[in-house]
Structures are given as structure tokens and as C-alpha cells.
Structure 1
Amino acid sequence: MQGIRNTLEKTLNLDQLRSFGLVIETGSFSAAADRLGLTQPAVSLQVRQLERRLAVRLVERVGKRAKATPAGAELLRHSHHIETAVENAIDALADHASGITGRVRLGTGATACLYFLPAVLRSLREQFPALGIVVSTGNTDDHVRKVEENSSDLALVTLPAAGRSLSVVPVLDDEFVAIGRSDLAPLKARVTPADLAALPLVLFEPAANTRKLVDRWFAAEGLQPQPVMELGSVEAMKEMVAAGLGYGIVPRMAMVGRGAHPGLKISRLNPRMHRTLAVVVRRDKPVNKALRVVLDAILAAGAQTGRATARPK
């Protein structure tokens, strides 16, 4: 068995394998030769060479038909998978050889656009310079509508995102944190809805899914926040908090890495609050090569970010 494995790995000839499969499918060496555009002796030679390489008999005659031996039947069981794997590898290499071209229209929220997508888009540009990605920002409902209307190819949005025509694939779990100016009545390491409800708050605008999550977090404790400012930009929120105008609740991704702000301190929320970012596409959307590489890049970056930011409970 190990000898057969070594032979397959080193010397398996796909033309011989294809000829053998057609002989069994048609029941005849001459019929297989006609299908392949070869002579009957050439097909017979290919099958004999394959048998010699594997050191087993693959074909036997039953009446006037060529049939697979038990060893031949076992090889046939794997031959389709072998050919499929080779075709997939060739297709993957063809993408690199000919280049991925076209345009992909991507909708997303402002926070993900600022702190998650730049690295993804830079990597795609480096790998596929002929690929164009048009990014627009807005709230979840707007992007879901555009995907349903096919005016966007996909969207990276905060759940929930509903629609019978949509495929929704979670990408990343992002925790929320409270932020305050470091030198003005710093917050505790963990803050509750009651701790924050009495403070001046700078929150997302009401239409945003992120704001709805914040409101539900307070409502679970019977509280309703009274923000002094409602903004659509997380960067604007951070600057208002840094100016001492209030305290904010923002996704953690906006406060780490390139989003870190030297004048602000982070506090975790108790109970924990988080959002799920997900990719949304139409179920009937043809996934061409350009769209596939964008989808794969976003999902891979989400998995990597999730591992990098995971924290013990």
C-alpha cells in the first residue's frame, strides 16, 4: 500500500487515468479511443502503463465488455476527486496568472470603514491591482436595501439585517466599551448602565444599529439614556469626549491599534455589550471571481481580528 501511495504521488499520469475511466465507462478500448481521438492501441498502452505503475490489474473482460477489477473500481472511486482537485488548483493559479479584474460595490458602516477595511483593501490592491472596489458608507438598513436592489454587490453591516432574499454570514464579534477623558472623573474599570445614565453622553445617531444596541443595553436595566450629543461619526464622538463634553459608548475596534486616542480611557461594560458584523449578499447573486476574492478577504480578516482581540471572560 505504501508503494502504491508513493507511485500515485510521484508518477500518476492524468491522461492514463482519464483513458482508464473512459474504457470502463464505454466498456470498450476502441470506444474510449474514439472519444479521446486516439487509436485503440494507444489507449491500450496507456492503461497497461497505468497498471504497471500501480502494480495491479485494473481491467478485465466480462463477455465482450471491459469491466473494472476490484482494484480498478477502487481507483475509479477516487479518480473524480483527483481530477476535480487538479482543476481547482489550475483555476486558482489562473487567477494569479491572468489577474482578477472587474468592479465590486461594497457598502459598510463608518466605523468598519475606518478601522477594519483599510488593511483588507490594501491587501487586495497589492494582490489584484486590476480589481476595483467602490466603497460607500451608511447605516445597515440603507445598505441592506441597496444589496436587495442590486445597486451594491455586498455589504458589511451590524446585525440584525433581515431579508428573505439575503445570505447573511457573520464576520466578527466586536465588543463595546465606554470612553471618557483620562483627567476628568475617570470611569471605573467596569461600568454599568446605572453608572452611565446620570452622565452627559455622546452617542450614535438614533438611526444606527449601534445606537439601537446601546438603547437596549440601558433598557434592560429600566433606564433610558439622555444624550447631550448624537453623532454619525465615531471619530467625531471621540473628539467630543476628548474635549470634555461627555462620555461615550463606542465599538472597541475604534479604540485599539490605529484608533487609539492618547487622551481617552477605556472602561469595559457590565453586562457586556457587543455587536456582530456580517457580510450580506443576495442569495441569487452570481459570485464571480472578483466578488469571491473580496468576500474571502473580509472573512479571513474577520477571523484574524477575532483571534487578535479575543479576551478572557
Structure 2
Amino acid sequence: MKRIIPQKLNLEQLATFELVVLHGSFSAAAEQLGLTQPAVSLQIRQLEKFFNLKLLERIAKKMKPTSAGFTLLEHNILINNAIDGALQSMAVHAHEISGQVTLGTGATACIHLLPPLLGHLKQQWPELDVNVKIGNTDEMLKAVTENRLDLALVTLPAAGNNLSITPVYEESFVVIQQAQPRLLLDEITPERLVNLPLILFENGSSTRQLIDDWFQQQGLRPHPIMELGSVEAIKQMVMAGLGVSIVPQLAMSQPQNSSRLCSHPLNPPLNRQLAVVLRQDKPLNKALKKVVDGLLALGAPSMLPAISKTD
């Protein structure tokens, strides 16, 4: 039958017991602890009552441990070692950055914007794991609201109850085409593009909505020949000479794009903002705070060379 213990072992009483054995008297232990002798005697009586065993006996005017007392001293060494180990383990959490953070974002930001930041975080804090999930803005807003994501980096506009939304990064869109032969020779306007074979982001994405709005402001509606969910898939189709596309400038950051693709600014310009989204009541532990701080710094001048140095 499992023993039912009415109370927990008192660590303070154990420490007092160890001091009494060390000094051989209640009074010497009391002096070191800054207690009265009756207070020390009471702690020893309570400890003996807990075990229902005699732990000390007086021999030649010195307090000595009984057989049970010696056994308790041996276990007390193990208990102290376990406490020291627990304190050291907890100190890691108090002073180091560790744990897992789940971040949602779009494919373009994941491929072209986040790697330098995530690499820096991993180098600085090896015990910090950032798990990245890709989705569209609506999916990520819902996941953050339901606490399935710790935070998200989304394309604005975005809204939601109990959500904190902070713009952190702005970039331009460009039109891309096969480097040779070029289809576009003059100014890149909605009127010029709408009649060309367009390869655009899939319908329903926030990026596609921005592009559609850009055309609609001129009273135009695009009719793409392809709608794809991946910016890399779009680029491959354009490289194959199947059409032209409008993509975030970040998507052209790799040097290998320059030989097979060329890009041009749009007129009028089309920009997008990326924002960090968190629940307003989300506790910011040290790991999550490091990720948030890194994302908030994306638009800072000191971060731009790391992001755009290969443009």
C-alpha cells in the first residue's frame, strides 16, 4: 500500500539538523542561524515527528546522529545535490535564450527576407528554435488568434480582435520578364501590362489583392494566364518565356536571377507593408522577445545591407 504523507519534507528543518550534527549542539546551530535555541530544538522535534524516528542523541555532552540520523544525513547530501542541479538548470532559463517559437509568414518573406535574421538568431542563441510555417494572411491571423502560432509576419492590410499589428518593413513591387528577348520596352503601366500574358499570385492571397487593386485604380482588370501560389514557381514560368509577372522586389534578391530575368519599376509605384502580428495578451518570454525584436528591426538601415546586398 502506498504511504500517505500528511505533509512535505521541510528543507529548512533538514538544514538545521545538519548544522546541529556539524556543531554538536543546539545552541551553536542556533547562533549560526540567528535563531533561539528553543526554535532550533522545535525544528528538530518537528523533523523527528515527520519521520516518527529519533534522529539525535546526546553522547558525552555532544549531540550525535542516531542510526536513522546517519541515514538521513546520507540522503541529505543527495537532496542538496538535487537542489543545486535544479538551481543551475533554472539559471539557464533565467539568463539564456532557449525554447521554440512558431512563426507564420508568406513564402516570399520566408525565402528572401527571413534567412539572414533566422541565421543570426541561431548563431547568437543556439538553444532558440524558430519553427516557420507558410500561409496566407487570413490563415495566419486566424492561427495567431487561436494561439497556434506565436506570431506572424503578414502583408497588410490585416485586422483582428485582440491582435497587435505593427508595420515593420516596406518594399516595392516590380514587373519581371525573361531577360532575352524582352517583351517590355517602354513605361510599365497598368495599361501596358493588362494585355500581356500575366503570371500572377493565386487569387485570394493578400499580395494578389494588392496587385488587383493596382490595376483596378486605373479601371482595369487583369486576366492572368496562370495563377500560382509560389513566387519561385512564378519566376520559373517567366524564365521559360511564358509571360511576365509582378512580384515583390525581395524576390529578385538572388544574383542568379540577373542572367535570366530582368525587372522594372511600376508606374504608378506599387508598395506593400509587412507587419508583425501577435495576440495582445501574448506573454513575451525571452525567446519570443528576441524573435519579435529581430522582426521589428527588419526595416532599420542596419538590417538593409544584410537583406539587399545581393540585389
- TM-score w.r.t. the length of structure 1 is 0.66
Give the CA deviation at 1:297: 1.0
Partner of 1:252: 249
Q: Distance in 1 between matches of 2:303 and 2:222?
A: 30
> What's the CA shift string for 1:109-141, capped at 9, x where partnerless?
000000001111110101111111111001000
In 2 relative to 1, CA 306–269 (structure 1 residues): closer, same or farther, beyond 3 Å?
farther
1:232 aligns with 2:242: no
1:152 aligns with 2:149: yes
Give the CA deviation at 1:190: 3.8
Partner of 1:167: 164
Give the fraction of aligned pairs with identical amino acids, expressed as a percent: 51
Partner of 1:284: 281
Q: Distance in 2 between matches of 1:127 and 1:183?
A: 43
1:136 aligns with 2:133: yes
Gaps of at least 5 residues in structure 2 are 1-33, 35-90
Is the 8 Å Cα contact of residues 189 and 267 (structure 1) preserved in structure 2? no
2:190 pairs, out of 182, 188, 193, with 193
Q: Distance in 2 between matches of 1:133 and 1:185?
A: 41
Letter of the structure 1 residue corresponding to residue 206 of structure 2: N
Structure 1 vs Structure 2 CA RMSD: 2.2
Q: Distance in 1 between matches of 2:228 and 2:151?
A: 25
Give the CA deviation at 1:207: 1.4
Q: Distance in 2 between matches of 1:123 and 1:307?
A: 14
Question: SS of the residue aligned with 2:117?
Answer: helix
Question: Which protein is bigger by CA-based radius of gyration?
Answer: 2
In 2 relative to 1, CA 115–215 (structure 1 residues): closer, same or farther, beyond 3 Å?
same
Letter of the structure 2 residue corresponding to residue 116 of structure 1: L
Is the 8 Å Cα contact of residues 203 and 227 (structure 2) preserved in structure 1? yes
The runs of 4+ residues in structure 1 deviating greater than 3 Å are 94-98, 257-261, 304-310
Q: Distance in 2 between matches of 1:305 and 1:218?
A: 34
Give the CA deviation at 1:152: 0.4
- TM-score w.r.t. the length of structure 2 is 0.66
Q: Distance in 1 between matches of 2:143 and 2:277?
A: 11
Q: Distance in 2 between matches of 1:293 and 1:262?
A: 37
The number of aligned residues is 218
Q: Distance in 2 between matches of 1:155 and 1:136?
A: 9
1:176 pairs, out of 170, 173, 176, with 173
Is the 8 Å Cα contact of residues 297 and 303 (structure 2) preserved in structure 1? no
Letter of the structure 1 residue corresponding to residue 281 of structure 2: D
Letter of the structure 1 residue corresponding to residue 160 of structure 2: G
Partner of 2:212: 215
Gaps of at least 5 residues in structure 1 are 1-36, 38-93
Give the CA deviation at 1:260: 3.3
